[in-house]
């Protein structure tokens, strides 16, 4: 073809295409929190009940969408770890793939709203089938122009083996979906089971293989085939893309509340004239809690980003397991604006306000704990994954641990204090929010003081 | 201090901090289109009138916000071209700065809704003053730890000169704002004039200097001071950040409509039962135009991104002028979802529908033309800014030009065809939308055919 004759001149680095895809996917993964956040809770209802009745479905949709979109994102990373360079044709195919991925949340919320109706399953499966076919076309196209491939595959003599292996893994998904479509007409609930299987199939088959290996003591596949599409927890994951995706999620989440504020909280000039006698300041005072919630959630998300940034600065190589823990942390981060919005929806000192504050604490706690888990997972294989400074015994090890521990500790402490002193819950919560940025500013000093104190306490005991 | 003693160990690359800032700023610049898009236009009104009455203020707010946020972004780029490495303290200061920048759109919409009230100006000026002071602190902090600075400044003997020059430029803005605050109490309209001056001051003073230079033939400043904060059109601009910012805008704009769809277009189960006898397909058919608008706007934004990506792949160095043209292009891209949403709001073949389609064409045209203008601006200085392949006479020169010309030409053609054949306007518009992706896929072939044809036509004429 004409494009092949020109060879490498039309070839491009895939860096920016991947950054753009990461931005799109991170937006789509996060925005399903909006329908949850915009659910109006009436003042007379108890938060617990209204949560159970109104929000459970929507929160489930948000979490499942987040999961499915991140699965699609992981597949996208695998694909473009094989195909490292692109040309115009691949860029256009990728855009078509992105368009379908951004449509997935809608089909998913149809499935959640009408669980008995086949249409949601049909739409979802159709999207997934087309995405799978486009990815297969990308693989075939890539292997027909080997200069687009990963260098390791390019020099490998097993190109045919790689191609078959990758196509087999990719085409399994559309096949399962086709079966799910057929079953949706025969016996409906089975199609949901099939869809769940298709998402987790590689992980299930991998764990089965691992168990069988442990039981029989059988050898694994050839190491050559392990590099791509292996679905092991230590399969390498592009660190750049994990960072880009996380940045996208943190950025969207940090700005979600200001979008609402800009749209809803500019008072109407006529109403200001009528109700507040033309005094804009008085009219805005009613929005005070909204602004407080905005600054609080921006600061929390910003500081969680800061911790994430500090951690990944010292990570030299990310594994799939770290990516999974990161996804869990991000799913909780995505719930933060909702939690902050709840904290100001209720009258001061009400039971609802207390519960909203405690929910915020729980969300912050889990977002922070999963960040800590990334660090723990990295420490298990520290020679491969961490910079020497932050390994056991490294001079920034304690400092890094302190950074990661600030949010879980503060959230936990705030939670228990609000349980004990429920009357002052709002004050305690706001105090904690002001305290955290100060703690981060002084953290290096505090850690040094803490270490010196520990050494003085433990030193005499160890000396004799 | 403790941080200085440890020297370079706590120093970090600023790459990810800047990517995160770009993501935040691009979201904030774009989302002010949402209040415009959510303005409901009643069917009985004429689009022209309702546009004039309802939308003009909001569109003005959107454009001015986009302008001001991009000015803040340009200042942020200047700052972090001087300070190339960061530490924890700078990262936290930058987050504080970001929080205030994301709040600017709100103060601005207050100013637009209550132009007679001083509160908007006060809030806006306070934000800008605090942002300026934080930037000044960042500069002072950076110069007190020279290893954080740009390498050129680090080895320069004029560090003190640089510091004074940069602080002078940065602190001019808060000073002007302070004066604007004072004038807002004395003579109100003058404060708006002052704010306009503060935004354009560097450009005004630069043009004045240029005019004086032309008139008197005076020499410019020392070349040493020109590298940073010079405000000339050929001042270098970080290409990476222009790309990151553009990616953010394109990604948000591409997904704006799906956000609306996910939130508003999942039918209520009770209503489906009542109105459509339980048939979900019938209920969804009413949303058909919304889905069409979504896919149309996603494809258009995606392909405009594709053109932008192709262009910047061959750009080796960006100037401030190219950045400015890029900003204009992005401002129109931000208006696209609004235009697409309008195209399906009106009854088929109505005058309103025709006008909505024509507005879409105009927006696409300008978005494409400003991309073309970036290319023209780059060609003026092609040895510095462009890859040899796409310079005059390069083998991809015609191809690049064709890529950039597709959207302006199609938009212009569609506009005139809909003027002539107003009855078929919707059909023509949708046909154009399907045609463009095909055109991009076949473009290389088409350009080669066109060039061969041109050569055959011009060849005989040139030969004798």
Q: Write the DSSP string, A352-402.
A: HHHHHHHHHHHHHHHHHHHHHHHHHHHHHTHHHHB-GGGSTT-TTHHHHHH
Kindly determine whether residue B20 and residue A247, on different chains, have CB atoms separated by under 8 Å.
yes
Kindly determine whether residue A119 and residue B32, on different chains, have CB atoms separated by under 8 Å.
no
Nearest CB among A248, A250, A302 relative to B99 is that of: A302
Question: How many angstroms separate the Cα of B274 from the Cα of each of A5, B131, B264?
Answer: 62, 55, 18
Complex-level ipTM:
0.88
Burial of B225 (0-12, 13-18, 19+ CB in 10 A): middle
Contacts of A16 in chain B (CB under 8 A): 243, 247, 309, 312-313
Q: Which residue of B has its CA nearest to A268?
A: B113
| DSSP letter for each residue of B295-333 | HHHHHHHHHHHHHHHHHHHSBS-EEHHHHHHHHHHHHHH
Contacts of B437 in chain A (CB under 8 A): 92
Is the confidence at residue B193, as pLDDT, over 60? yes
Alpha helix stretches (DSSP H) within A145-158 = 151-155
Whether residue A113 contacts residue B266, with contact meaning beta carbons closer than 8 Å, is answered with: yes
Q: CB neighbours (10 Å) of residue B39?
A: 15
Contacts of B261 in chain A (CB under 8 A): 106
Distance CA(B310)–CA(B333), nearest Å, equals 17
Whether residue A323 contacts residue A237, with contact meaning beta carbons closer than 8 Å, is answered with: yes
pLDDT (tens digit per residue) in A282-304:
888 888 888 888 888 899 999 99
Contacts of A243 in chain B (CB under 8 A): 16, 19
Is the confidence at residue B83, as pLDDT, over 80? yes
Distance CA(A307)–CA(B43), nearest Å, equals 51
The three-state DSSP-derived secondary structure of B160-228 is HHHHHHHHHHHHHHHHHHHHHHHHHHHCHHHHHHHHHHHHHHHHHHHHHHHHHHHHHCCCCCCHHHHCC
Distance CA(B201)–CA(B194), nearest Å, equals 10
Partners of B83 in beta bridges: B149
Of B380, B82, B69, residue with least CA distance to B233: B380
Whether residue A72 contacts residue A198, with contact meaning beta carbons closer than 8 Å, is answered with: no
Q: What is the per-residue burial (b if ≥16 Cβ within 10 Å, else e) of B382-396? A: beebbeeebbeebeb
Handedness of CA B140, B141, B147, B151 (dihedral sign): negative
E-strand stretches of B25-145 = 85-86
Of A10, A395, A23, A113, residue with least CA distance to B243: A23
Distance CA(A151)–CA(A82), nearest Å, equals 9
Contacts of B2 in chain A (CB under 8 A): 444-445, 448
**Torsion, CA A26, CA A28, CA A33, CA A34, rounded to 10:** 120
What pLDDT, on the 0 to 100 scale, is given for residue A339?
A: 82
Kindly determine whether residue B281 and residue A119, on different chains, have CB atoms separated by under 8 Å.
yes
Task: Report pTM.
Answer: 0.89
Contacts of B38 in chain A (CB under 8 A): 263
Distance CA(A115)–CA(A109), nearest Å, equals 10
pLDDT (tens digit per residue) in A180-215:
888 888 887 888 888 888 777 777 877 888 788 878
DSSP state at residue A39? P
pLDDT (tens digit per residue) in B280-289:
888 888 888 8
Nearest CB among A10, A34, A445 relative to B259 is that of: A34
Distance from CA of B105 to the nearest CA of A (A): 7
Is the confidence at residue B137, as pLDDT, over 90? yes
Kindly determine whether residue A258 and residue B105, on different chains, have CB atoms separated by under 8 Å.
yes
Of B158, B58, B415, residue with least CA distance to A266: B58
Distance CA(B435)–CA(B148), nearest Å, equals 51
Distance from CA of B147 to the nearest CA of A (A): 18
Q: How many cross-chain Cβ pairs, A to B, lie less than 8 Å apart?
A: 197
Contacts of A98 in chain B (CB under 8 A): 302
What pLDDT, on the 0 to 100 scale, is given for residue A7?
A: 43
Q: Which residue of B has its CA nearest to A263?
A: B35
Collapsing DSSP states into helix, strand and coil, what is residue B85?
A: strand
What pLDDT, on the 0 to 100 scale, is given for residue A107?
A: 87
Q: CB neighbours (10 Å) of residue B449?
A: 11
What pLDDT, on the 0 to 100 scale, is given for residue B218?
A: 57
Whether residue A181 contacts residue A125, with contact meaning beta carbons closer than 8 Å, is answered with: yes
Contacts of A448 in chain B (CB under 8 A): 2
pLDDT-derived band at B26 (thresholds 50, 70, 90) equals: very high
pLDDT (tens digit per residue) in B68-78:
888 889 889 98
Contacts of A303 in chain B (CB under 8 A): 95
Nearest CB among B20, B254, B306 relative to A24 is that of: B254
pLDDT (tens digit per residue) in A325-354:
999 999 999 988 888 887 877 777 778 788
Residue A143's Cβ-side half-sphere holds a number of Cα atoms within 13 Å equal to: 19
pLDDT (tens digit per residue) in B306-349:
999 999 999 988 988 899 899 999 999 998 888 888 787 777 77
Whether residue A257 contacts residue A338, with contact meaning beta carbons closer than 8 Å, is answered with: no
Kindly determine whether residue A255 and residue B28, on different chains, have CB atoms separated by under 8 Å.
yes
| DSSP letter for each residue of B418-456 | HHHTGGGHHHHHHHHHHHHHHHHHTHHHHHHHHHHHHHH
- Average pLDDT of the residues in B419-425: 85
Distance from CA of A23 to the nearest CA of B (A): 6
Whether residue A366 contacts residue A327, with contact meaning beta carbons closer than 8 Å, is answered with: no
Distance CA(B100)–CA(B126), nearest Å, equals 10
Distance CA(A387)–CA(A394), nearest Å, equals 9
What pLDDT, on the 0 to 100 scale, is given for residue A464?
A: 41
Whether residue A406 contacts residue A440, with contact meaning beta carbons closer than 8 Å, is answered with: yes
Distance from CA of B162 to the nearest CA of A (A): 28
Distance CA(A131)–CA(A118), nearest Å, equals 20
Question: How many angstroms separate the Cα of B316 from the Cα of each of B311, B388, B390, B451?
Answer: 10, 10, 11, 26
Nearest CB among B252, B310, B441 relative to A27 is that of: B252
Kindly determine whether residue B263 and residue A89, on different chains, have CB atoms separated by under 8 Å.
no
How does pLDDT run along chain A (464 residues), one tens digit per residue?
344 434 445 678 888 999 999 999 999 888 878 777 776 655 555 555 655 666 677 787 788 888 888 888 988 998 998 898 998 899 999 999 999 998 988 888 888 778 788 888 899 999 999 999 999 999 999 999 988 888 888 888 888 888 998 998 889 888 988 988 888 888 878 888 888 887 777 778 778 887 888 787 655 554 444 567 777 777 778 889 999 999 999 999 998 888 878 777 778 777 888 888 878 888 888 888 888 888 888 999 999 999 999 999 999 889 888 998 999 999 999 988 888 887 877 777 778 788 888 889 999 999 999 999 999 999 988 888 888 888 888 888 889 999 999 999 999 999 999 988 888 888 888 888 888 988 998 888 888 899 899 988 887 655 44
Whether residue B403 contacts residue B443, with contact meaning beta carbons closer than 8 Å, is answered with: yes
């Amino acid at each position: 073809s004409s494009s092949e004759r020109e060879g490498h001149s039309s070839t491009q680095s895939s860096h920016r295409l991947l950054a753009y895809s990461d931005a799109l996917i991170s937006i789509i993964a996060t925005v399903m929190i909006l329908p949850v956040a915009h659910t109006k809770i009436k003042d007379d209802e108890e938060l617990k009940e209204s949560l159970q009745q109104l929000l459970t479905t929507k929160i489930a949709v948000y979490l499942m969408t987040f999961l499915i979109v991140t699965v699609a994102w992981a597949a996208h990373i695998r694909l473009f770890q094989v195909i490292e360079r692109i040309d115009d044709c691949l860029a256009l195919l990728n855009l078509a793939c992105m368009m379908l991925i951004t449509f997935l949340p809608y089909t998913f919320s149809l499935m959640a709203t009408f669980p008995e109706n086949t249409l949601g399953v049909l739409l979802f499966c159709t999207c997934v089938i087309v995405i799978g076919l486009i990815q297969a076309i990308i693989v075939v196209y890539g292997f027909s122009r080997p200069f687009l491939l990963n260098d390791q595959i390019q020099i490998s003599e097993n190109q045919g083996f790689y191609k078959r292996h990758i196509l087999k893994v990719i085409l399994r998904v559309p096949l399962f979906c086709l079966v799910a479509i057929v079953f949706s007409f025969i016996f409906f609930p089975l199609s949901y089971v099939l869809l769940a299987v298709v998402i987790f199939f590689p992980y299930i088959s991998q764990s089965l293989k691992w168990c069988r290996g442990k039981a029989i003591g059988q050898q694994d596949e050839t190491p050559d085939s392990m590099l791509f599409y292996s679905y092991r927890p230590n399969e390498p994951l592009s660190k750049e893309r994990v960072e880009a995706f996380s940045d996208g999620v943190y950025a969207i989440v940090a700005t979600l509340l200001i979008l609402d504020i800009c749209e809803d909280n500019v008072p109407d000039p006529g109403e200001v004239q009528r109700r507040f006698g033309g005094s804009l300041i008085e009219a805005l005072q009613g929005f005070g809690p909204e602004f407080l919630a905005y600054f609080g959630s921006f600061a929390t998300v910003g500081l969680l980003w800061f911790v994430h940034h500090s951690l990944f600065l010292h990570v030299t190589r990310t594994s799939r397991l770290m990516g999974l823990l990161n996804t869990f942390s991000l799913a909780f981060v995505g719930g933060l604006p909702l939690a902050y919005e709840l904290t100001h929806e209720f009258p001061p000192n009400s039971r609802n306000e207390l519960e909203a504050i405690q929910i915020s604490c729980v969300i912050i706690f889990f977002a922070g704990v999963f960040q800590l888990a990334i660090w723990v997972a990295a420490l298990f294989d520290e020679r491969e994954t961490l910079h020497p400074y932050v390994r056991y015994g490294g001079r920034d090890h304690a400092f890094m641990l302190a950074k990661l521990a600030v949010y879980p500790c503060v959230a936990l402490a705030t939670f228990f204090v609000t349980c004990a002193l429920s009357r002052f819950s709002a004050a305690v919560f706001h105090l904690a929010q002001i305290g955290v940025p100060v703690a981060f500013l002084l953290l290096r000093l505090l850690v040094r003081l803490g270490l010196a104190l520990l050494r003085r306490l433990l030193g005499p005991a160890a000396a004799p």
